[in-house]
Chains A and B, each alone.
Chain A
Amino acid sequence: GIQVEQSPPDLILQEGANSTLRCNFSDSVNNLQWFHQNPWGQLINLFYIPSGTKQNGRLSATTVATERYSLLYISSSQTTDSGVYFCAVGNDYKLSFGAGTTVTVRA
Chain B
Amino acid sequence: NAGVTQTPKFQVLKTGQSMTLQCAQDMNHNSMYWYRQDPGMGLRLIYYSASEGTTDKGEVPNGYNVSRLNKREFSLRLESAAPSQTSVYFCASSDPGQWSTILYFGPGTRLTVT
A interface residues (Cβ-Cβ under 8 A, vs B): 1, 4, 31, 33, 35, 41-45, 48, 86, 88, 92-100
Interface residues of B (CB under 8 A from A): 31, 33, 35, 40-45, 48, 50, 56, 58-59, 88, 90, 96, 100-105, 107-108
The 9 A-B residue pairs whose C-beta atoms are closest, nearest first, are A97-B42, A43-B105, A97-B43, A48-B100, A99-B42, A48-B102, A45-B102, A93-B48, A41-B108
The answer to whether B31 touches A93 (Cβ under 8 A) is yes
Cα of A86 to Cα of B58 in the assembled complex, Å = 19
Q: Is the interface of A mostly helix, strand, loop or mixed?
A: strand
> Given A93-B48, A93-B96, do A100 and B105 touch, yes or no (CB 8 Å)?
no
Chain A positions within 8 Å of B44 at CB level = 97
Q: Which of A1, A86, A94 contacts B48 (CB under 8 A)?
A: A94
Q: Which residues of the partner chain B approach A45 to less than 8 Å between Cβ atoms? A: 102-104
B45: contacting residue among A35, A42, A94, CB under 8 A: A94
A92 touches B103 (CB 8 A): no
Whole-angstrom distance between the Cβ of B64 and the nearest chain A Cβ: 16
Chain A residues near B40 (CB, 8 Å)?
A: 99
Query: Do the beta carbons of B42 and A42 come within 8 Å of each other?
Result: no
CB distance from A57 to the nearest CB of B (A): 17
Of A35, A92, A96, which is within 8 A of B101 by CB? A92
Q: Which residue of B lies closest to A84 (CB)?
A: B42
Residues of chain B within 8 A of A4, CB atoms compared: 42
In-complex Cβ contact of B107 among A35, A41, A96 (8 A): A41
* B103 contacts A88, C-beta separation under 8 Å: yes
Do residues A1 and B105 form an inter-chain contact, with CB atoms below 8 A?
no
B50 touches which of A1, A33, A48, A93 (Cβ 8 Å): A93
Contacts of B108 in A (CB 8 A): 41-42
Residue contact B90 to A43, C-beta cutoff 8 Å: yes
Q: Is the CB of A100 within 8 A of B58?
A: no
Report the Cα distance A33→B101, complex, angstroms. 9
Instruction: List 11 A-B pairs, Cβ < 8 Å.
Output: A1-B59, A35-B103, A45-B103, A93-B33, A93-B101, A94-B59, A95-B45, A97-B42, A97-B44, A98-B42, A100-B42
